[in-house]
Structure 1
Amino acid sequence: MDELALLKRAGGPVTRGRLSQDLTALGLTDGDTVMFHTRMSAIGYVAGGPQTLIGALSDVVGERGTLMVTCGWNDAPPYDFTNWPQAWQDAVRAEHPAYDPELSEADHDNGRLPEALRRWPGAVRSRHPDASFAALGAAATALMADHPWDEPHGPGSPLARLVAAGGRVLMLGAPLDTLTLLHHSEALAEAPGKRFVDYQQPIRVDGEGGGERVWRRFHDIDSSDGAFDYSPVVLEGQDPFEAIAQDMLAAGIGSRGTVGAADSYLFEAGEVVDFGVTWIERKLGQGADAGQTGEAG
């Protein structure tokens, strides 16, 4: 979309000051710890791009507040590389760079903001290669520390710490199916047929000269293809996270407003997780142990 179309959408440039006013009207406030998801084009023409948006968010939450994003790793080896011909596998194992919180790019599918925030001076990124998060502000180190290698969306994860800190989730024009915190609900929910994946990625372990590059095996819910088969309980073609979020809004959870030109939502993180766990367990059947395990090498 060109600049003129974006300008028309929002009725003019969306500046740092305008963003701050809109975010405050939505309910964001000083001292908040907030995980945010953004679709920049939905907001309109943001004068200055990600730098302006991060600046406005920082203005509103203040020095006591913290911003958080989901990053992932854009250039991680695919889960199924262990099914490639042996010579190809050997080449990857020999030379694929290890995950580096400072150098490895955030997943491009998450938009421009995660990469911008994780590069911001003072930002802290978690150690997990596939499910990394980044944070900026007073609680950044506490949120990101010791991200569990296995079940990185579950207890002890940055998502769990966001909830424990009384954090919030802000959707700035982002589709509701990108509400990453619901992966924490999936990790906690007890319902039949929970799906897991095992995979291998290179990391560095502590040591002299930057540490040793090693390949480590990881275990997690299947956050790519879905931790559960939701097809019996959602409409055909509907994303399950969107269905959960729409039911959550219908139940009066979360506030809605406009930031720039974007329909935006602000949720309490604890309410999101509690609603998600209850929704999954009620819809899919409560109390069963994990059922299927996907093997990716």
Structure 2
Amino acid sequence: MDETELLRRSGGPVSRSQLVGDLRALGLAEGDTLMFHTRLSALGYVAGGARTVIEALLEVVGEQGTLLVYCGWNDALPYDFTEWPEPWQAAVRAELPAYDPLLSESDHHNGRLPEVLRRWPGAVRSRHPDVSFAALGAAAGELTAGHPWDDPHGPGSPLARLVARGGRVLLLGAPLDTLTVLHHAEALAQAPGKRFVDYELPVVEDGRRVWRRFHDIDTDEGAFDYSGVVPAGEWPFTVIARELLAAGGGVRGLVGAAESHLFDAAALVRFGVRWIEAHLA
């Protein structure tokens, strides 16, 4: 969709001041620790694009607030690269650059905002090559430091620290299935059939490029088989979030032209854990 069409559909440019007003009306406040997911095109034609959105969020949370995004690593190898032909494996083992929090691009599937935020002056990024997060603001270091190599969605992860800080999760036009914090619920839930992956990626340790092995819940194929409890064609996170909204958790509102949602991270994770354990036990 081109810019003229976005302007036509949204009724005009979406400005920083409009975003600030809409975000405050949704319930965001100064001092918030906020993880956010954005579908930029859903907001309408934002004058200044991703930069304007981040500046508006920074204005709303203020100097004592913090922004958090999920980055991942766009050039991480697939989990099953160890099944490639031996010459292919040898080539990437020899020359694939190690994950670098400063240089390694965010996963493009996460949209433009994570990459813009991780490059923002003062932003910091966690050390995990496959599950990296970037943060900007007063608690950025606290959220990202010492990201566990194994179980990187579980205890001690940036998601766990977001919950512990009383953080919130904002969907700016992004669909409910993008609620990454529900991977933390999957990591914590005690239910049979939980699926895990083990994989290898290069990182830098003590100034040297080394290959490290990692263990995590399977976020590619799904940490659980939800097929028996989620209607065909639905995403499990969408169903969980929709049920929480129906129970009075979270709020809906317009930001720019986009239907947006704001959740308390701890309440969302508690609900997710209970839902998984009740439906999959």
TM range (shorter): over 0.9
Cα deviations by residue, 1:260-292 (Å, 9 ceiling, x for unpaired): 00000000000000000000000001xxxxxxx
Distance apart, 1:117 and its partner CA: 0.2
Structure 2: where are the runs of 5+ without partners? none
Distance apart, 1:8 and its partner CA: 2.3
Aligned to 1:261: 257
Aligned to 1:293: none
Say if 2:142 is the partner of 1:142: yes
Aligned to 2:67: 67
User: What CA distance in whole angstroms lies between the structure 1 residues aligned with 2:153 and 2:84?
Assistant: 28
SS at match of 1:258: strand
Say if 2:98 is the partner of 1:102: no
User: What CA distance in whole angstroms lies between the structure 2 residues aligned with 1:255 and 1:243?
Assistant: 16
SS at match of 2:87: helix
Distance apart, 1:3 and its partner CA: 1.0
User: What CA distance in whole angstroms lies between the structure 1 residues aligned with 2:4 and 2:241?
Assistant: 32
Q: How many residue pairs are counted as aligned between the two chains?
A: 281
Aligned to 1:290: none
Matched letter for residue 94 of structure 1: A
Structure 1 stretches of at least 4 aligned residues deviating more than 2 Å after TM superposition: none
User: What CA distance in whole angstroms lies between the structure 1 residues aligned with 2:6 and 2:221?
Assistant: 33
Distance apart, 1:6 and its partner CA: 1.0
User: What CA distance in whole angstroms lies between the structure 1 residues aligned with 2:240 and 2:115?
Assistant: 27
Cα deviations by residue, 1:57-101 (Å, 9 ceiling, x for unpaired): 000000000000000000011111100111110111000000000
Aligned to 1:212: 208
Aligned to 1:15: 15
Say if 2:159 is the partner of 1:159: yes
SS at match of 2:12: coil
User: What CA distance in whole angstroms lies between the structure 2 residues aligned with 1:104 and 1:236?
Assistant: 36
Aligned to 1:274: 270
Aligned to 1:288: none
Matches within 5 A, 1:224-239: 224-239=220-235
User: What CA distance in whole angstroms lies between the structure 1 residues aligned with 2:122 and 2:38?
Assistant: 21
Aligned to 1:197: 197
SS at match of 2:56: helix
SS at match of 2:13: coil
Aligned to 1:294: none
Out of 243, 248, 269, the residue aligned to residue 252 of structure 1 is: 248
SS at match of 1:56: helix
Distance apart, 1:9 and its partner CA: 2.5
SS at match of 2:51: helix
User: What CA distance in whole angstroms lies between the structure 2 residues aligned with 1:282 and 1:93?
Assistant: 43
Give me the CA root mean square deviation. Answer: 0.5
Matched letter for residue 267 of structure 1: F
User: What CA distance in whole angstroms lies between the structure 2 residues aligned with 1:120 and 1:152?
Assistant: 24
SS at match of 2:19: helix
Q: Percent identity?
A: 72
Cα deviations by residue, 1:215-247 (Å, 9 ceiling, x for unpaired): 000000001110000000010010111011111
Cα deviations by residue, 1:21-46 (Å, 9 ceiling, x for unpaired): 00000000100000000000100001
Distance apart, 1:11 and its partner CA: 1.5
Say if 2:83 is the partner of 1:83: yes
- What TM-score do the two structures reach when normalised by structure 2? 0.99
User: What CA distance in whole angstroms lies between the structure 1 residues aligned with 2:103 and 2:264?
Assistant: 32
User: What CA distance in whole angstroms lies between the structure 1 residues aligned with 2:58 and 2:9?
Assistant: 25
Aligned to 1:26: 26
